[in-house]
Chain A
C-alpha cells in the first residue's frame, strides 16, 4: 500500500453514461498525476496537477475528459459520454516536488469497463 487511494476500484457502465473517479494522494504530496493503462500496454500520461493548478494535459485527454483538484488535495477524473474505447485502468499517482529525485507513488487504479 503506497498511501494513494482510488475509488471505485471497478466500474462498469453503459456507453454514453458519465463516470467519475476519485483519487486521494499521500497527504503532503503537492503533485498529482493521472495515467491510463490499456490491456497489454504501459501506462500513458493524461494530466497532472501541482497543488490545484492543472499544469499539463496530454493529447489523449479529449474534450470528454475533465480533471479537477479543487483544494489541492484529492482529485476527480470525469469522463462524459463514455465510449467502449475508454475501457482501461485509470491510475493516479502523487509526488512531493523537490529538487533532485522525485518519485511518483501509484494508487491501485480504477478499472473501467464500458459496455
Chain B
C-alpha cells in the first residue's frame, strides 16, 4: 500500500528565507511523486512531479524537489520565500505503472512573515 507523510502541518518562514517542506513516502513499486499547491477556496495546482530520470525536479514559481530513493523522501524547497507563496502544500504519490489515483499527504500550511 502507498502512503505519504508530511512532516509539520504548519511551517512559517520569513520573506526571503529558504523554504523546506518535508515529505516521505511509502510505496512497494516505483512511484510517481507530486507536489501540489492549494490557495484558499481554490482547487489544486501542480507544482512539480517526478516520474523517472533526473532526481532533481524543477517546478513552477521557483520550487524544486529531489527524489531520494534511499531515504524515501521528496522534500520541496525554494531558495527565497515570497509573500505569494503562502498556501497549503500537498505531497502525493501514485503508482508508477498506473496513474489511476493519487494518494495525498495531509498537507503543510506555509506562512510567510514580512
Please name all residues of chain B whose beta carbon is closer than 8 Å to the beta carbon of A106 when the two chains form the complex: 36, 43-45
Is A45's CB under 8 angstroms from B103's CB?
yes
For chain B, the bracket of interface size reads 20 to 34
Is A56's CB under 8 angstroms from B106's CB?
no
Is B43's CB under 8 angstroms from A104's CB?
no
A41 within 8 A of B: yes
What does the 1/0 interface line of B1-45 toward A look like (CB < 8 Å)? 000100001000000000000000000000010001000011111
Which of A43, A105, A108 has a CB less than 8 Å from the CB of B46? Answer: A105
- Given A48-B101, A101-B51, A103-B49: A41 and B43 interface contact (C-beta under 8 Å): no
Q: Which of A83-100 contact B (CB under 8 A)?
A: 91, 93, 95, 100
B104 within 8 A of A: yes
Bound-state CA distance A54–B106 (Å) is 26
Q: Return 17 A-B CB contacts under 8 Å, by A number.
A: A2-B45, A4-B43, A41-B106, A42-B4, A43-B44, A43-B102, A43-B104, A45-B101, A45-B102, A45-B103, A48-B100, A101-B32, A101-B49, A105-B46, A106-B43, A108-B43, A109-B43
